[in-house]
Structure 1
Amino acid sequence: MNNRVYFLMVIAFIVGIVELIISGILDLIAEDLHVSLGQAGWLITVFALIFAFMSPVLLVATEKVERKRLMLICLWIFLLGNIITIFSPNYAVVFFGRIVTALSGALLTILCLVMAPAMVEQQYKGRAIGIISMGVSGALVLGVPIGLVLGNNFGWRAPFIMVAILTIISIVGVHFLMNRVQPMKAVPLRAQIASLTNPKVFFALLTTFLYMSGHTALYAYLKPFIEETMALNGTMVSLIYFIFGLSAVSGGGIGGALADNYGSRKTISISLVLFVFTFVTIPFTTKIVPLFIIVSIIWGILSWAISPAMQSYLIETSPKTASILQSLNNTALHFGVAAGSFFGGLIINIVPITYNAFIGAILIFLSLITAYMSMYSKEKDPLMIK
């Protein structure tokens, strides 16, 4: 295994932090910039929306650029976006900074996933991709709690200062440690979009979108939810985020094992049913902290257990277009994050924040319906990529 793959994992970790960290410091941003919690939440929405739209577009647009050079360009732009955020005087400038970091971060993540398997022997390619994914999941475990601690003690800009420092270290590392990697031809956007004509694929991707929307409708506002319903201090909130993150990462392994042993369809179905039940239950557990933590652990496991099962299902559905479907599933996931954070922000401006859990439950229930629509749709010949 090429040790440079682990360096790419660190870069994926840094990008993951920037995408997720806003959820832990929403209240601090809202108070300092004189906006509502919902408006602060839209900073998550714009990042995820750009990530979803632009990942495949940017990959195709830059398919002829040598990968090391492209990564350095993206890292410099990513650094610029964080500097804009750090020195922003108002909400509009922060919003612009998020756009800059989302554009560069989207391509950085894809580059890490493309470069990692190109650096190793054939038998290690799958493991290399898994290592990059660990970087993103590591951001979920450590990013938000670290952001909470830094934000509560030094202000909401402090986490972005940390990210800027890590980005500078990454630029130096890529410059001196990484070898040149020649680009491979990207899958045309037309072929990616054409995959959606398969009803089994379309409803599967819609399932990803809906369950992630439901999850994010509450997770994006978890800190204000905990503070409003349970009146816990910053240390306890950070602890809950940390426990949730560990559960989510373990959920990825659990979901993959269940899909291998019991099949992807059964794993998706059971996970979504439990997911709905968990979200309906959450608002009724806030009076007993240990019970809330137990339910949060279940929530964390389920939030990531579905993903590997869905990836396996998509590969089974159309093996010849598996690479396209993985990309589209990632896009659907980020669309879900964008939609969930946007509508969650609208909800908390109208009704008590506990309703976010019930709205999330409805969206996840709809994802269960679309999952069955996918599973029982008529088979269609997989598309041939030209």
Structure 2
Amino acid sequence: MNRFAIYLLTLGAFVTGTAEFVVSGVLEIISRDLRVSISMAGQLVSIYSFSYALGALVLVMLTAKFERKKVLLNSMVIFIAGNMIAFFSFHFGMLMLSRIILAMSGGLYIVVAINYAAQLAQPAKRGSAMATVITGFTVSLALGVPIGTLIAAYMDWRYIYLIIAVVSIINLMLLNKFIPMLKANKQIPLKQQLLVWRDKRLISGLLTTVFWILGYTMVFAYIAPLLRTLAGFSIEMISAALLVLGVFAFIGSRFGGYAVDRWGPVRTISISLVIHAMALIVLTVTATSTLGALLTIMVWGTAAWMTTPANQFYLVSLKSKSSEIVLSFNTALMNIGMTVGAGLGGGVIEYTSVLNLGWIGGVMVLVALITASYSFVGNKK
């Protein structure tokens, strides 16, 4: 039953992730329909990242004393409400409100769900359990945009959110029936929660998340112009490349969980970061051919998403009594890293060349390796 419960938690991660990423594929349609500029419509992405970080951080702290199943189910109820507001959005302000609600409830859900999966699994399988939930998020990254775009091609874009709401209602009922109750976390005063920032191992471990996702996002956010410039990819080929990236991101997150259980988080994190950095650094050279680009993307996607379950497992192991608080910090910083990475990547393109994205992103990932190594050394003392 626990395995089925973990799969249900994963489905929840998939729908929350899809609600986040699907807007990218229909941004131009939303812009025309609601009569706003593309740049204004793009703020739907920015406000989501900020609100997601807020939900993952503040709401997790505020709900720490409540029974976890109740928190999980209520976060899903609010998420469903956010989708329904999006479905009935006929002006931009209402859609913006829906994004805030979706993000904050989604941020709370993903933190509680990952910790829930770890608690449901046997100690030797906790890495795999956490990776399974994360897999739902990575699959949404790969499939959310193309599925949403396909739906918008045949019907009003608002129906995307109605479909997400329907799937979420089904998931909510199944979660209510099949997941066991989980006691509330031991109430930790806010002042004591913030003291986790005094742990140098934890700080450097969290910085690993920031620099890893920063380097990844620098390239991912601008993968289309990069592949078009280097390998002459058409729109169809870029879509295929993104699908390949999504498939291997899925493989990487699953393998990362397996590797943590078998070899431990330290070795898994170190190996994945080294391969990730090297893949980005050589991308400018290998991506001059179609085969080279696709092979590099396969390696990149696998290595990049191996890090996520491994680093989350490692961070939780440092502060097991404050696992959700640690995960909330990690999730919030991950979104901040994504925002900074997209902005920094845009600056690189604006003031230098798209050709520099790969090696600069690779250097950021090497910085993540340095912060991880510092944390590992401190952990041995």
Aligned pairs (5 A) from 1:21-60: 21-25=22-26, 34-36=36-38, 42-60=43-61
Query: Given the alignment of the two structures, is residue 98 of structure 1 paired with residue 95 of structure 2, yes or no?
Result: no
TM-score (norm 2): 0.79
> Aligned-pair distance for 1:285?
4.4
Contact 2:5 2:179 in 1 (8 A): no
2:221 maps to 220
Equivalent-residue separation in structure 1 for 2:124 and 2:30 (angstroms): 42
2:171 maps to 170
- Farther off after superposition, 340-349 or 240-249: 340-349
> Aligned-pair distance for 1:366?
2.5
> Aligned-pair distance for 1:232?
1.9
Equivalent-residue separation in structure 2 for 1:64 and 1:324 (angstroms): 12
Distance 1:346 1:149, change over 3 A: farther
2:185 maps to 185
Aligned pairs (5 A) from 1:299-310: 299-310=300-311
Aligned pairs (5 A) from 1:244-283: 244-258=245-259, 264-283=265-284
* CA offsets 1:85-123 (integer angstroms, 9 cap, x no match): 3454565544332211001112222343455567x5867
Equivalent-residue separation in structure 1 for 2:377 and 2:266 (angstroms): 11
Contact 1:220 1:341 in 2 (8 A): yes
Contact 1:41 1:345 in 2 (8 A): no
Secondary structure in 2 aligned to 1:181? Answer: coil
1:367 maps to 368
Equivalent-residue separation in structure 2 for 1:257 and 1:367 (angstroms): 22
Contact 1:208 1:332 in 2 (8 A): yes
- Farther off after superposition, 210-219 or 312-321: 312-321
Amino acid at match of 2:272: S
> Aligned-pair distance for 1:153?
5.4
Secondary structure in 1 aligned to 2:234? Answer: coil
Equivalent-residue separation in structure 1 for 2:123 and 2:273 (angstroms): 33
Contact 1:49 1:334 in 2 (8 A): yes
Equivalent-residue separation in structure 2 for 1:121 and 1:284 (angstroms): 43
1:12 maps to 13
Equivalent-residue separation in structure 2 for 1:101 and 1:246 (angstroms): 25
Secondary structure in 2 aligned to 1:185? Answer: coil
2:234 maps to 232
Contact 1:149 1:238 in 2 (8 A): no
> Aligned-pair distance for 1:198?
1.9
Equivalent-residue separation in structure 1 for 2:155 and 2:94 (angstroms): 20
Contact 1:208 1:329 in 2 (8 A): yes
1:108 maps to 109
* CA offsets 1:135-178 (integer angstroms, 9 cap, x no match): 32332343333234334555755543432332343355556x35
Aligned pairs (5 A) from 1:69-80: 70-80=71-81
Contact 1:115 1:181 in 2 (8 A): no
Distance 1:145 1:294, change over 3 A: farther
Contact 1:60 1:187 in 2 (8 A): no
Contact 2:87 2:161 in 1 (8 A): yes
Amino acid at match of 1:233: I
Contact 1:78 1:105 in 2 (8 A): yes
> Aligned-pair distance for 1:209?
0.7
Amino acid at match of 1:232: S
Equivalent-residue separation in structure 1 for 2:64 and 2:262 (angstroms): 38
* CA offsets 1:191-233 (integer angstroms, 9 cap, x no match): 3321221222211211111110121223234346556763423
Distance 1:322 1:170, change over 3 A: closer
Amino acid at match of 1:162: I
> Aligned-pair distance for 1:322?
5.7
- 5+ residue gaps, structure 2: none
TM-score (norm 1): 0.78
**Count of aligned residue pairs for this structure pair:** 376
Distance 1:325 1:179, change over 3 A: closer
Distance 1:294 1:152, change over 3 A: farther
Contact 1:9 1:131 in 2 (8 A): yes
Between the two proteins, what is the percent identity of the paired residues?
29
Secondary structure in 1 aligned to 2:109? Answer: helix
Contact 1:271 1:302 in 2 (8 A): yes
Aligned pairs (5 A) from 1:190-205: 190-205=191-206
Contact 1:9 1:132 in 2 (8 A): yes
Equivalent-residue separation in structure 1 for 2:220 and 2:260 (angstroms): 25
Distance 1:294 1:180, change over 3 A: closer
Query: Given the alignment of the two structures, is residue 133 of structure 1 paired with residue 134 of structure 2, yes or no?
Result: yes
Contact 1:201 1:314 in 2 (8 A): yes
Contact 1:23 1:222 in 2 (8 A): no
Distance 1:369 1:133, change over 3 A: closer
